[in-house]
Structure 1
Amino acid sequence: MRTLCAVVLVFEVVVIGLAIPIAINLEGTDPALAGGVWGGMALAALVLSGLQKHTWAYYAAWGLQAAFLFSSFMVTGALLVAVVFVSLWITGVILGRRVDEVRAMHASRAEAEEATGTHGAAEGAGPAETAGAAGGAGRA
Structure 2
Amino acid sequence: MRTLCASTLIGEFFVIGFAGLVAMKHPDLSMGTVWTVCGIAMALCVLLCGMLTRPGALTVGWVLQAALVVSGYWVGTMFFLGVIFAGLWWAAIHYGRKVDVLKARHAAQAEAQAQDRAQAQEA
TM-superposed CA distance for 1:101, in Å, is: 1.2
* Superposition map of 1:76-91 within 5 A: 76-91=76-91
TM-superposed CA distance for 1:17, in Å, is: 1.0
Question: Which residue number corresponds to residue 2 of structure 2?
Answer: 2
TM-superposed CA distance for 1:114, in Å, is: 2.0
TM-superposed CA distance for 1:53, in Å, is: 2.9
- Structure 2 distance, partners of 1:7, 1:70, is 22
Question: Which residue number corresponds to residue 49 of structure 2?
Answer: 49
| Contact residue 69 and residue 79 of structure 2 kept, 8 A | yes
| Contact residue 68 and residue 78 of structure 2 kept, 8 A | no
- CA deviation digits over 1:17-70, x for unaligned, max 9? 111110111x22221221122221111111111222323323322221122222
TM-superposed CA distance for 1:88, in Å, is: 0.9
TM-superposed CA distance for 1:4, in Å, is: 0.7
Structure number with the higher helix fraction is 2
* Superposition map of 1:24-39 within 5 A: 24-25=24-25, 27-28=26-27, 29-39=29-39
Q: Secondary structure at the match of 1:117?
A: helix
| Contact residue 3 and residue 52 of structure 1 kept, 8 A | no
| Contact residue 20 and residue 38 of structure 1 kept, 8 A | yes
* Superposition map of 1:7-22 within 5 A: 7-22=7-22
- Structure 2 distance, partners of 1:102, 1:45, is 27
Taking structure 2 as the reference length, the TM-score comes to 0.85
**Runs of at least 5 residues in structure 1 that lack an aligned partner in the other structure:** 124-140
TM-superposed CA distance for 1:86, in Å, is: 0.8
- Structure 2 distance, partners of 1:42, 1:76, is 19
Taking structure 1 as the reference length, the TM-score comes to 0.75
- Structure 2 distance, partners of 1:103, 1:73, is 42
